[in-house]
Structure 1
Amino acid sequence: MTAAPVSVPRMKLGSQGLEVSAQGLGCMGMSAFYGPPKPEPDMIALVHHAIASGVTFFDTSDFYGPHTNELLLGKALQGGVREKVQLATKFGISSDGKREVHGDPAYVRAACEGSLKRLGVDCIDLYYQHRIDTRVPIEVTIGELKKLVGEGKIKYIGLSEASGSTIRRAHAVHPITAVQLEWSIWSRDVEEDIIPACRELGIGIVAYSPLGRGFLSSGAKLIDSLSEQDSRKIFPRFQPENIEKNAQIFERVNAVATRKGCTPSQLALAWVHHQGSDVCPIPGTTKIENFNQNVGSLSVKLTPDEMAELESCAAAGDVQGDRYPRMANTWKDSETPPLSSWKSE
């Protein structure tokens, strides 16, 4: 097993004391959504290789599987490994097939207890609300998470796909340590409102899908390799009417990468790393070779001119298709009712 090519620095995530590796590992694809589940022994070996390489920040959710990704990580972190890692998981999307979003106190507590059991841990380092329940004031959801912090069941609170105003309301109840959001060369809608809100409040930024769900690694040929079970087949940007225009974005990025002597995925990740010391990308992979390549992005240095050139490769008008299919929840529909409207049961 080869070592990762560069050492992985540490970073402070948020203002409450959480320290993580400057790049994390998104674990979803090991168990769900990107084709059939991968062989468990191989995925455990990948997790152990990541830890040995200095990547210690692992991202999962009770929704991945559902539940199977947490169980996988729980097995991988047995035997004294737990103390070396920072474990992040999420709650909020029901696993009953309806994919409803829940943020009421009883659901929050039950979800946390379930994740603790599956992960085999006493405390979750970073616990995110995966999606925002627009029926429940965000203050109510965060209030229950605050209780879980007080009970020692979680250390830090995070939000995912939340608007700037939702983040501000949540942070007023209990400090939010991190906001997870989609951010990459071709997904930049968070820059206008959400990133400034996080920085104003001292909240860490965790960038998921920094490689455009694999598209910024391999371009249009990615589509040909997807299994019938791969959820990316229904994503707007991968549809036939959009793929040809989007392929031009990849070709432009690839040309810059060739000139820089790195891979397009390393270049795309380097762009995210260069956004600031408060940003931690969490690219996912199921292959050690790809993991090593992703870690190699930490040694790619970009000048302001190169950053600007990369951004011009995927100007807003060039990207065809939304980030998600229309029925999906994102920060754009994450507003919750005022606290005064809530009547506790």
Structure 2
Amino acid sequence: MGEKVLMKGTEAIGEAAIRANCQCFFGYPITPQTELAAYLAKQMPKLNRVFVQAESEVAAINMIYGAAGTGARVMTSSSSPGISLMSEGISYIAGAELPCLIINIVRGGPGLGSIQPAQSDYFQATKGGGHGDYNMPVYAPSSIQEMVDLIQDAFDVADLYRTPCMMMGDGMLGQMMEPVEFVLRTPRAVPEKDWAATGLHGRAKHNVINSLYLDPQDMENHNIHLQEKFRRIRENEARYELFECDRDNDLMIVAYGTTARICKNVIRDAERDGIRLGLVRPITLWPFPTEAFEQTIDRTHFGYLTVEMSAGQMVEDVRLAVNGRQPVAFYGRMGGMVPHPKDILERVKQMIYQGVK
């Protein structure tokens, strides 16, 4: 075991990105992720790496496009309204098949909203966010240690599939402090970036980075290629945790991120009342881990309760995964309010004792 260091979530992301060989960061400050940019502003120049505070989120994501096109390992970060401004550029990056990592430390919305934690960017992250038919892997860690551990994986997946990846944590994960250990991780084997725009280097023609196809047949062929890539990602990269699911339970809770940590306390509290609960925790929000529901569908008597810091977004994917085989209910708080264990437990008891759906 290595030495643990007490770090704020946003700063731990920055250190993990440096250790994962991130070469360039372009971003713009917005609460609650500004400390990530501030940390990298100090550290990247010491390592002869690139840090640029762009004039806007629109500029930052287009800088990511340009630097990723050279084959550099690149990252940006923002919070909810800033990710909205980046959405056109993210679509361009997906269309041009450029690897990068995008950090979203989610705050309450819609609009300028609040600076408090939320999970209301789920639709934006998993259902595209920008225009066109595309997806990107979305990671949802539930602790600062898991954020650190997933950074290397996210960069590797981006390089392996030539795709943007997003790590989505709520504002609480970004601002809290926890002990973290930076474990030397073995990178995944990724192909050489022989597609990058770095000059001829013995090639007959220059590589061109592009997402524009004026001929409709060419555009469809490119989309078919992209969809095949997304199919491979769905098959190979879905991740989840099952907590107390190796038994028959009264109810299964579904939650991710900080909310999942709260729900683990609910499970312990429920035991004292003679109620048996399990937790399905998606670690990737896209691809959504439908296999987790195949493993638990016959181990819950009253179905599933999805708990989110939103009006109910992931619950739609839970219902699709369950496909009518069990009831699926929802409990959520919005606008920066965090669910309390006693309120979640009360909702659980409603479902079990009163048949409330």
Relative to the length of structure 1, the TM-score reads 0.29
TM-score in terms of structure 2 length:
0.28
Q: RCO higher in 1 or 2 (8 Å CA, sep ≥ 6)?
A: 1
Question: Greater share of strand residues, 1 or 2?
Answer: 2
